[in-house]
Amino acid sequence: MMNISNIFTITLLAGALSACGGDSKTTSTSSTTPEPTAPTAPTAPQVNRLGISAIPDALKKTYTPRLKFDRFAKIKTPNGGAINILAQDEVTDNQIVRARNILQHYLTNYPGSMYGTDKSAVANKIADSGAVLLLLNGVDDGTNAAAQLDGQPLYYGEMQVEGGNWYINQNYEHRDASYEEILHFVHDYGIGVDQNASFNGVLPAYQAEIRAAQISALSGKLWAWPAEQASWITELTAENSLSQEYLASVIDTYYGLWGAFDSQYGMWGMYIAKNRADLATKDPEGAAIMDNKFFHPYLTYNARIDSRFVGDFSLKFSSSLAYTNHSQYLKDVTLTGTNESNVVVNQLNNNITGNSAVNTTIFSGSSSEYQITFENGQVTVQDLQDNRDGLNVLTSIEKLKFSDTTMDAPSA
């Protein structure tokens, strides 16, 4: 099968090189401090280092400056089409990159899976539908006129960035809704939804499994059972959105987004499973639609750690670090900015890229338990014990910290 990670070319046209949202704004660590605002709108025609552009002429009549749209991104699809992403002026560049990454993650082939070995048809279907992902200012309070445009909205106030204040503090006032909203986009326009006049998607068998799990969860009071959800369920039933919202609860739980929530349940307390371990025992059908079906068990994108982050960013779960409920599913990260930040690896064969400062990668065991090599400007650190730190490829990392010593990374 053709690998979609090779045939997809992420093409995001042009902005000024300085347009790097999140790199030089407020440094407060308060959980109520907003994430940084976007930089001046890009005007240059060249692709910037994050791959973000000004709005193309062909789209300017709809996504206008009056509606505060100022940047554009797209993912090319295997059939030569494109999935467009339009952003308003308060959305940061790093938020745009992360939204693109999550969309790419959902569309990246999952070899050996039942429905995701080749996701070309899903991607092509989204592109052919003309569906647009809208990254909007503010929050979903009904005041943003651009929300009336056709497209899947995702708001500034619900887009976290790895390493940012909202992410590190797991701030549910600005909860990470990117996975949910972008999932709706992929579900509605690619996978497909049943119980409409026609099935407008490419994976009816998978949707049948999702629907069956949703019906069982609702009838079994595993999802949306509290009485205060009754009117919402009535609304979802009328608009045929039950399966989309149920799947979002499963996905958010699967990727650890509710692990730090102050409740025994996930998704605002209306889903029986709070973390991945809960799924198998509390919602077996929900677990089954995740198990080797379409969605990867880890996050396939390279996460850009917010430049304001200082300290050790952990990819390994720790009950004392709320964000690791989610970051434990990352495998590849890039440190940004100039802070001397470090990365604690997990077992997922990580790719770690440093920033312009002195950065350290942190391992679990003693130095004698690892094989360290240097080739083509990269350091490879192989854990000789199984199921611990895996194989790590390090770029622009100056220090290696083990349980017994810290050493300079080899450079020649």
For the chain, what is the HEC assignment?
A: CCCHHHHCCEECCCCCCCCCCCCCCCCCCCCCCCCCCCCCCCCCCCCCCCCCECCCHHHCCCCCCCCCEEEEEEEECCCCCEEEEEEECCCCHHHHHHHHHHHHHHHCCCCCCCCCCCCHHHHHHHHHHCCEEEEECCCCCCCCHHHHCCCEEEEHHHCCCCCCHHHHCCCHHHCCCHHHHHHHHHHHHHHCCCCCCCCCCCCHHHHHHHHHHHHHHHHCCCECCCHHHHHHHHHHHHCCCHHHHHHHHHHHHHCCCCCCCCCCCECCCCECCCCHHHHHHHCHHHHHCCCCCCCCCCEEEEEEECCCCCCEEECCCCCCCCCHHHHCCEEEEEECCCCCCEEECCCCCCEEECCCCCCEEECCCCHHHEEEEEECCEEEEEECCCCCCCEEEEECCCEEECCCCEEECCCC
Asked if the structure places residue 8 within a domain, the reply is: yes
Closest CA to 334 of 348, 317, 319, 315: 315
Together in a domain, 194 and 315: no
Together in a domain, 227 and 376: no
CB crowding 162-194: b at 16 or more within 10 Å, else e: bbbbbbbbbbbebbbbbbbbbbbbbbbbbbbbe
Asked if the structure places residue 224 within a domain, the reply is: yes
Asked if the structure places residue 212 within a domain, the reply is: no
Q: Domain range spanning residue 39?
A: 4-203
Together in a domain, 195 and 87: yes
* Alpha-carbon span 70 to 103, nearest angstrom: 20
Together in a domain, 134 and 26: yes
pLDDT at 412: 75
Asked if the structure places residue 209 within a domain, the reply is: no
pLDDT at 97: 97
Together in a domain, 58 and 182: yes
* Alpha-carbon span 172 to 31, nearest angstrom: 10
Together in a domain, 260 and 323: no
Asked if the structure places residue 210 within a domain, the reply is: no
Together in a domain, 62 and 182: yes
Asked if the structure places residue 354 within a domain, the reply is: yes
* Alpha-carbon span 392 to 332, nearest angstrom: 9
- Those residues of the chain that have pLDDT short of 50 are 1-32, 40, 43-45
Q: Strand 312-314 vs strand 152-155: parallel, antiparallel, or unpaired?
A: unpaired
Together in a domain, 181 and 253: no
pLDDT at 49: 83
Contact 179, 251 (CB under 8 A): yes
Together in a domain, 387 and 345: yes
> Considering 203, 237, 256, which residue would you say is the last residue of a domain?
203
Together in a domain, 234 and 165: no
Asked if the structure places residue 329 within a domain, the reply is: yes
pLDDT at 2: 34
pLDDT at 35: 60
Residue with tokens 């907003």: 34
* Alpha-carbon span 327 to 184, nearest angstrom: 22
Together in a domain, 286 and 331: no
Asked if the structure places residue 273 within a domain, the reply is: yes
| Number of domains making up the chain | 3
Amino acid sitting at position 170: Q
pLDDT at 48: 78
The share of the chain scoring above pLDDT 70, in percent, equals 89
Together in a domain, 91 and 236: no
Helix-helix angle 204-219:242-254, to 10 degrees: 90
pLDDT at 47: 58
pLDDT at 22: 36
* Alpha-carbon span 344 to 381, nearest angstrom: 13
pLDDT at 24: 30
